[in-house]
Amino acid sequence: LGGAALLGVGIWVVVDGESFFKIFGAISTSVLQVVNVSYFLIVIGAILLIIGFLGCCGAQKESKCLLMLFFTVVLIIFIAEIAAAVVALVYTGVAETLLTATVTPLLKDKFGKEPSLTQIWNVTMKELHCCGLNNYTDLTDSPWLTKYHSYPAPCCSGKEPLCSSSLLPCFLQGCFDQLLTEIRKNSGVVGGVAAGIAALEIASMVVAMYLYCRLDEK
């Protein structure tokens, strides 16, 4: 069910991303800006659907092989999540540097050329009142600037005409600090969801192993 829900959300973002961002606010555009969030959700949803099918089918058919396969896959995912959480806590500074080094060239190469990325960043900049990741120079030489000969409207504090290089004082600060603030503001919710997912994974592994052992008794 969780996999189906994620798959549905991923398809929703692909078909009508703007309405999704309007409903869920700025934080929805703050998550995983480096990747295409819609296709990421579709892939994760499909994987969860397959894993869930393995567990249900193994229980229904009383297949030890499928139950053990389900247990192993969930265990690997659980260990990977723990490792990712530890790395994120220990190497926060490195992660921020890596994010900056990855997103900045992405904006210069794809902003204004890749529709989904352009839409995500335009909504992000509008909602958070910022421009680029570090500042407006992240969008310099981007396909958007080449095409329209101006910076995006969200970069200019509502001033008219649209931002040009002669109006540098009107540019807002970069989105990086605002994104971190939004993420930290919602860290409690994220932590609660993560704890719930971890508990569900542990419960599913316990049930799978219990059924596996009961089959041995039979």
Q: What are the DSSP calls for 95-155, one per residue?
A: HHHHHHHHHHHHHHHHTTTSHHHHHHHHHHHHHHT--SSSSGGGGTT-HHHHHHSS--GGG
Do both 35 and 69 map to the same domain? no
Range of the domain at 12: 1-61
Do both 70 and 56 map to the same domain? no
Do both 97 and 12 map to the same domain? no
Q: What are phi and psi of 39, to 5 degrees?
A: -70, -30
Contacts of 157 (CB under 8 A, 6+ apart): 129, 170, 172
Residue 197: per-residue pLDDT: 83
The answer on pLDDT for 165 being more than 90 is no
Q: C-alpha distances in angstroms, 39 versus 17, 69, 99, 111, 209?
A: 12, 26, 19, 18, 33
Do both 68 and 57 map to the same domain? no
| Confidence at 149, pLDDT banded by 50, 70, 90 | confident
Do both 74 and 56 map to the same domain? no
Domain count, the chain: 2
CA gap 144, 136 in Å, rounded: 12
Do both 165 and 212 map to the same domain? yes
Q: Residue 194 in contact with residue 187, Cβ under 8 Å?
A: no
Residue 31: per-residue pLDDT: 47
Specify the higher pLDDT residue, 203 or 218. 203
Q: What are phi and psi of 204, to 5 degrees?
A: -65, -35
Residue 34: per-residue pLDDT: 39
Do both 18 and 126 map to the same domain? no
Do both 168 and 126 map to the same domain? yes
Chain mean pLDDT for the chain: 76
Do both 98 and 44 map to the same domain? no
CA nearest neighbour of 74 among 54, 88, 57: 54
Contacts of 202 (CB under 8 A, 6+ apart): 78
Question: pLDDT per residue over 25-60, tens digit each?
Answer: 544 444 444 345 667 778 888 888 888 888 888 888
